[in-house]
């Protein structure tokens, strides 16, 4: 496995420890809910 040039293991570990699992999971659930809300919006009727 290769990382992008200039990214170290320390960089990855620091990024991973910025948030715990729970807040990240909550953000993902909210983003998913927002996405599906777009699909469920009533469509506007086109005016002739």
Q: Does residue 15 sit in helix, strand or coil? A: helix
Does this model's pTM top 0.85? no
Question: What DSSP designation does 41 have?
Answer: S
Q: Which two three-digit tokens encode residue 30? A: 């909210």
Helices (H), 1-48: 9-16, 21-39
**Is pLDDT of 40 > 80?**
yes
Q: How far apart are CA 10 and CA 23, in angstroms?
A: 22
Distance CA 26, CA 5 (A): 31
Question: Is residue 43 over pLDDT 70?
Answer: yes
């Amino acid at each position: 496995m290769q990382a992008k040039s200039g990214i170290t293991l320390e960089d990855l570990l620091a990024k991973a420890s910025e948030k715990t699992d729970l807040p990240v999971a909550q953000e993902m659930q909210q983003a998913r809910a927002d996405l599906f809300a777009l699909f469920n919006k009533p469509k506007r009727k086109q005016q002739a």
